């Protein structure tokens, strides 16, 4: 069995009892960053072998992991924070497990975009998750494809590209389009700023930009 186990995006109290039980029971844990996962396991007193499994070695590690699962081992996959497979490694191994007849269970739990979306004040009955936009190639084409989108759009962004994102939003959807920018969700300095694209851009141009961001952008009316 492969278990996809969400881990807290900030506040460690957000991990579920079932997640803790399975992390103790599996034979090994595949981790995006073993150092980060080790901190989590130590906090909860869990000792398990760790397997490095990230976007740079995902293809190379796949066959070895499948062999272990087919031999009868139970493995867990965790990302640094949130649900594996959501803008994190996970898709390839899930697809391969399904093809090989290996059971997969995905546990419910922490993910960044849901609380940001619900807290944005924007319509969340219908939305589209875009994750990270391409850094260079295809970025403008993606924006052009979203100009007529009527659903609320959800993005992830790093602090290093937040201003660039807001400048592009201003250009492609307009300075008055409503936007909600959340950072440091569930952590001590959690913050959400809401308003027109232009106003939010001015705010972050004049304040320190720290943390990882979830951006909710209103669709076209």
pLDDT of residue 53: 87
pLDDT of residue 5: 97
Residue 150: which domain range? Answer: 113-217
Round to whole Å and give the CA distance between 120 and 188.
Answer: 19
pLDDT of residue 19: 98
Instruction: Give the residue from 55, 81, 106 where a domain finishes.
Output: 106
**Residues 41 and 125 reside in one and the same domain:** no
Q: Would you say 11 and 187 are in contact if contact means Cβ atoms under 8 Å apart?
A: yes
pLDDT of residue 56: 73
**Residues 119 and 99 reside in one and the same domain:** no
Mean pLDDT of 187-209: 95
Instruction: Enter the pTM of the model.
Output: 0.90
57 pLDDT higher than 80? no
- Count of structural domains, the chain: 2
**Residues 117 and 177 reside in one and the same domain:** yes
pLDDT of residue 159: 95
47 pLDDT higher than 90? yes
24 pLDDT higher than 80? yes
**Residues 212 and 161 reside in one and the same domain:** yes
Instruction: Give the residue from 106, 141, 176 where a domain finishes.
Output: 106
pLDDT digit string, tens, across residues 70-105: 999 999 999 999 999 888 878 899 999 999 999 999
CATH number for the domain spanning 89: value is 3.40.1010.10
Average pLDDT along the chain: 94
pLDDT of residue 120: 97
Instruction: Give the residue from 57, 90, 106 where a domain finishes.
Output: 106
**Residues 79 and 17 reside in one and the same domain:** yes
58 pLDDT higher than 90? no
pLDDT of residue 88: 80
CATH number for the domain spanning 147: value is 3.30.950.10
**Residues 93 and 39 reside in one and the same domain:** yes
**Residues 122 and 98 reside in one and the same domain:** no
The band of 1, judged by pLDDT with boundaries at 50, 70 and 90, is very high
């Amino acid at each position: 069995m492969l278990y996809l186990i969400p881990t807290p995006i900030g506040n460690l109290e957000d991990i579920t009892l079932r997640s803790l039980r399975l992390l103790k029971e599996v034979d090994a844990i595949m981790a995006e960053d073993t150092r980060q996962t080790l901190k989590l396991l130590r906090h909860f007193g869990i000792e398990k072998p760790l397997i490095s499994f990230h976007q740079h070695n995902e293809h190379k590690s796949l066959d070895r992991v499948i062999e272990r699962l087919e031999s009868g081992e139970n493995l867990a996959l965790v990302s640094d924070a949130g649900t594996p497979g959501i803008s994190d490694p996970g898709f390839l191994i899930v697809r391969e497990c399904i093809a090989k007849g290996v059971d997969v269970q995905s546990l419910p739990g922490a993910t960044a975009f849901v609380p940001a979306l619900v807290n944005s004040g924007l319509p969340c009955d219908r939305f589209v998750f875009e994750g990270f936009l391409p850094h260079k190639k295809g970025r403008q084409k993606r924006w052009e494809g979203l100009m007529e989108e009527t659903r609320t759009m959800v993005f992830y962004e790093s602090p290093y590209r937040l201003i660039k994102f807001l400048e592009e939003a201003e250009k492609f959807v307009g300075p008055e389009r409503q936007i909600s920018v959340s950072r440091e969700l569930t952590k001590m300095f959690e913050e959400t700023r809401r308003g027109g694209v232009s106003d939010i851009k001015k705010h972050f141009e004049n304040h320190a930009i720290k943390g990882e961001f979830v951006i909710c952008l209103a669709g076209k009316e």
